[in-house]
Structure 1
Amino acid sequence: MTLERVDTLPILPKRPADGHKGLYGSVLVVAGGRGMAGAAGLAGVAALRSGAGLVRVASSAEVQPTVASFEPSYMTYPLENDEEGLIRFEPAKKALGTLLERATVLAIGPGLGQSAGIRDLVRWVLESVSLPTVVDADALNALAGQTDALADLKRPTVITPHPGEFARLTGRTVAEIQADRETHAVALAQADNLVVVLKGAKTIVTDGARIYVNSTGNPAMATGGAGDVLTGVIAALIGQKLPAFEAAQLGVYIHGLAGDMARDQNGEIGTIAGDIVDVLADAFYHLTA
């Protein structure tokens, strides 16, 4: 099979004058546990700044008030937590089912933490949830060594590992992954309905048949929370009806462009993930103007 190299960006359609929020996707973000409320907030705000019509953030009940305090424009929902401040899957399952009925796309992983309950939650999502899904961070860590969980996906799924998460997922070393990023990403993406975003310098997006190597971004983005921002961006673009590969492709480009703008304002050393969120609107405006 010949791998198609993609170098043109997809275009978001122009919004009609009578457009309303129902046209632009309802994103459910499942994220955030003790000490990691910021990850949920960053993903939620990034989805809003990337054009999502509605964003709901479901997090551990312990951190939900903190998540809510970050941004009044998204809605927040508490899910029962364990003694470690992480979501308990079985008690949360009914509430999640109700929230999923209102959503058009799911993003899961940022700041969830690691526990048996989180692992059960992630496997349930992959096996049972019918919405397009973006899987990141601790949702990927919950799948360490379990690439079989990605083998028979029923709906478009985008995974966004950095090299360490990719290595844990596949059972390889970071050095192996970094030595031949394209080959490893394409091999994993052979599963049906799976798009792999291998983050890092020149982030790779592939569905196993096509590959895009991103041209934006810089070392200032090597900061905690930057990946959570990307999760929100890609989920919002899927909510605006871009196919998964195109949403991931445009998402990494916009995310990197915002990172470049944030670096220009704050420098490589002083840039933080919130700075990237703050200029997402400018990045989209720059692309569409």
Structure 2
Amino acid sequence: MERTHRKEEGGVALPRLQQRKTNSHKGDYGRVLAVGGSPGMSGSISLTGVASLRCGAGLTTIASPKSVQPLVAQVEPSCMTLALPEDRHGLLPMHSRDAITKAAKNSDVVAIGPGLGRSHGLDLLIQDLYCDLSTPMVVDADALNALGSRENPLAGPGGPRVLTPHPGEFRRLAHDRELPKGRWTDVAADMAKRNGVVLVLKGHRTTVTDGERVYSNETGNPGMATAGAGDVLTGVIAALLGQGIPAFEAAQLGVYLHGLAGDLAAKAIGSDGLIASDLLDYLESAFQQHRRRR
């Protein structure tokens, strides 16, 4: 029996991927709004946007500060772009909220955080969007750090939320509470359950929990410890959410396929020099392999 047929940790089985219908159109596969980027960090949100398309999103719009938008637009012509207001440092200010909210109303999922940078205005913006938008949202990178500045970082989500912290970001979300080795999952499960969100603890054997279920991923390799790999994961999960897969299952399947793409890339080109854009090239192969095993 193939490994993907078995129940995983906590008795959680991997979801199936639905076949595309013959008479479908791009609107059937989700509209992703990817919000992020700042001077010097346009690549982060670009990886997220391209990853969402590689994972089946019908339409992806990358929304970034207006000075960054021309750089983002050159990365992948299949992605649409939206230029947002910026402050004197090239970061998104609080008053970019209206433009983001308007774009989110025409989207099935929002992916926010990669390459945003940090400022007081950004903290307020992210906190406001997290609480007020009903659109499903994947929260990563600097958006997580913005939430970490709140008294209760994960409280009051306006809709389905998947948060994807690495260990440092998770410590900030947990307000540096004691995290005994081997017990991080328990703390994450408690936080997820109390706030009604899904947490993805990135690292060796990435863990996904909604407080009731726990999934420990078995794909991935050390070559994926590279800048931008997490930005790709954000796009993968966003694409699956946008196609109507529930938050926990989208996160679970997203980390599995992301890791599998990394394994396929490492097998083909090695792991020592693997970079995040290599993962994009192997996402479709990961999807097809998962379909065959199912």
What amino acid maps onto 2:252 in structure 1? Q
Checking the alignment, whether the CA contact within 8 Å between 2:12 and 2:213 is kept in structure 1 is no
Query: Across the two proteins, how many residue pairs are aligned to each other?
Result: 284
Structure 2: gaps spanning 5 or more residues: 1-8
**Which residue matches 1:114?**
118
User: Aligned partners of 1:256 and 1:177: how far apart in 2?
Assistant: 26
Checking the alignment, whether the CA contact within 8 Å between 1:155 and 1:193 is kept in structure 2 is no
Over 3 Å counting, the alpha-carbon distance change for 1:122 and 1:78 in structure 2 is: same
Q: How does 1:195-206 map to 2 (within 5 A)?
A: 195-206=198-209
User: Aligned partners of 2:155 and 2:118: how far apart in 1?
Assistant: 22
State the identity %.
51
Structure 1: gaps spanning 5 or more residues: none
User: Aligned partners of 1:271 and 1:178: how far apart in 2?
Assistant: 29
1:28 aligns with 2:21: no
Task: Normalising by structure 1, report the TM-score.
Answer: 0.94
Over 3 Å counting, the alpha-carbon distance change for 1:145 and 1:120 in structure 2 is: closer
**Which residue matches 1:16?**
21
1:101 aligns with 2:105: yes
User: How big is the alpha-carbon RMSD for the aligned residues of Structure 1 and Structure 2?
Assistant: 1.5
Report the secondary structure of 1:27's partner residue: strand
Checking the alignment, whether the CA contact within 8 Å between 1:195 and 1:205 is kept in structure 2 is yes
User: Aligned partners of 1:208 and 1:281: how far apart in 2?
Assistant: 31
Q: Deviations over 1:56-76 (max 9, x none)?
A: 000011111111100000100
Checking the alignment, whether the CA contact within 8 Å between 1:30 and 1:57 is kept in structure 2 is yes
**Which residue matches 2:6?**
none
1:167 aligns with 2:187: no
Checking the alignment, whether the CA contact within 8 Å between 1:154 and 1:193 is kept in structure 2 is no
User: Aligned partners of 2:21 and 2:230: how far apart in 1?
Assistant: 31
Checking the alignment, whether the CA contact within 8 Å between 1:167 and 1:177 is kept in structure 2 is no
**Which residue matches 2:75?**
70
What amino acid maps onto 1:64 in structure 2? Q
Between 193-202 and 179-188, report the one with greater CA deviation: 179-188
Match of 2:127 among 117, 120, 123: 123
Cα offset for 1:153?
A: 2.1
Superposition misfits of 4+ residues, deviation over 3 angstroms: none
Cα offset for 1:234?
A: 0.3
Q: How does 1:234-253 map to 2 (within 5 A)?
A: 234-253=237-256
Report the secondary structure of 1:241's partner residue: coil
